[in-house]
Structure 1
Amino acid sequence: MSMDISCCSPKNDSTKEDPDSEDDIYERFASTEDALKNILPDASKTDIEKYAQQLEDVENYDPILVISPNYNWIHQHSHQNYQKIMNEFATNGLQQNRRDKGSLCVFHFADVTELYAVRRNIRAIYPHAFFDPRAQPQQHPIGTAWVLYKIGMRKSDYDADECFFLLP
């Protein structure tokens, strides 16, 4: 029985040419810090580093909700009301813990079910934080919701959830 070892020769090293190798897959995604800079463009470098550190303990694929504030909403309803609602995102359904480590913008959830259950609860308590396209005069949502998943130690995938702050 002869054994074909041609696949083991250096010239056929598939990891360098294979676009689906593990290293190449992770390169397709933004670093967690770059994702946070894009999501929170007004945040200071110190805050971005703090938020990235906050995400160090998050397991891969656990959802993170990042809320970038809508300053029009804050001017209309006050910064104190904004903080009150962000505190609700941090604590809703929890006994004594926080899911944001005090950041008021980066929230870690155990799973997607918990994330959207908290949204439903807050929508019932604070409907003025959500956008109703039928309302007159036109109103603003409290912010933009971004859902971020860590897919590796330092890489993340993220996108804005355009319907998160939309009333049904």
Structure 2
Amino acid sequence: MSEYSGFPSIRDTLKTIFSKASDEEISKYERQLEKVKILDPVVIINPNPDWIHQHGLLAYHTVMDKFATEGLHNNRRDENSRCIFHFTSVTEMYTVRDKIHDDFPNAFMHSRSIQALIPNAQLHPIGTAWILMNVEDLEELKCDFGKDNNFFLRTVEKNSSYIN
């Protein structure tokens, strides 16, 4: 018995994250994740319909394309899925996230605890981020994954007038 025997399969993981996806979509995403090296971080983003309603589908695609291409030359880290992004390290993943935060701050929501203090606070994040890593259990790929509720949380500069 492997230390990863209790972890879910890639398919079961995807069914949890994309609960409304068709079997065809799940199979497509499964093929994409099967190419990811063991322990390489992956960010999976479920779109937030409230954010898309407020900002538009074109704005959503622009941000997802930036996730896919930031720091790469003539390449994408998502195989055109616009939702599954493969990184070579956790450092790369958060460096890209921070660059997106700088370039598209409206994709990140302000913390609920300070929303009332900020004029025109961003109330909705662009989506829900899941962090996933493939693990191997006796020749079978499985996943360790979880929802990152702070991935799209907007940081506040300390010199801002609404922070003491």
What range describes the TM-score normalised by the shorter chain of this pair? 0.7 to 0.9
User: 2:4 is paired with a residue of what secondary structure?
Assistant: helix
Rounded to whole Å, the distance in 1 between the matches of 2:60 and 2:97 is 15
Rounded to whole Å, the distance in 1 between the matches of 2:105 and 2:23 is 33
Rounded to whole Å, the distance in 1 between the matches of 2:100 and 2:131 is 17
Rounded to whole Å, the distance in 2 between the matches of 1:108 and 1:137 is 30
Rounded to whole Å, the distance in 2 between the matches of 1:102 and 1:86 is 10
User: 1:141 is paired with a residue of what secondary structure?
Assistant: coil
Give 1:24-103 correspondences, 5 Å limit.
25-103=3-81
The residue aligned with 1:159 is 146
Deviation at 1:37, TM superposition (A): 1.2
Deviation at 1:41, TM superposition (A): 1.6
Structure 1 residues 54 and 147, CA gap change in structure 2 (3 angstroms): same
1:126 to 100, 104, 108: 104
Deviation at 1:101, TM superposition (A): 0.3
CA contact (8 A) 2:106 2:122 kept: no
1:144 to 128, 131, 147: 128
* Cα RMSD (Å): 1.2
Deviation at 1:44, TM superposition (A): 1.7
Deviation at 1:138, TM superposition (A): 5.7
The residue identity in structure 2 corresponding to 1:158 is: F
Rounded to whole Å, the distance in 2 between the matches of 1:85 and 1:44 is 24
> Normalised by the size of structure 1, how large is the TM-score?
0.83
2:89 to 111, 121, 124: 111
CA contact (8 A) 2:108 2:122 kept: no
Aligned length: 146
Rounded to whole Å, the distance in 2 between the matches of 1:32 and 1:118 is 24
> Normalised by the size of structure 2, how large is the TM-score?
0.85
Rounded to whole Å, the distance in 2 between the matches of 1:59 and 1:137 is 39
Structure 1 residues 71 and 28, CA gap change in structure 2 (3 angstroms): same
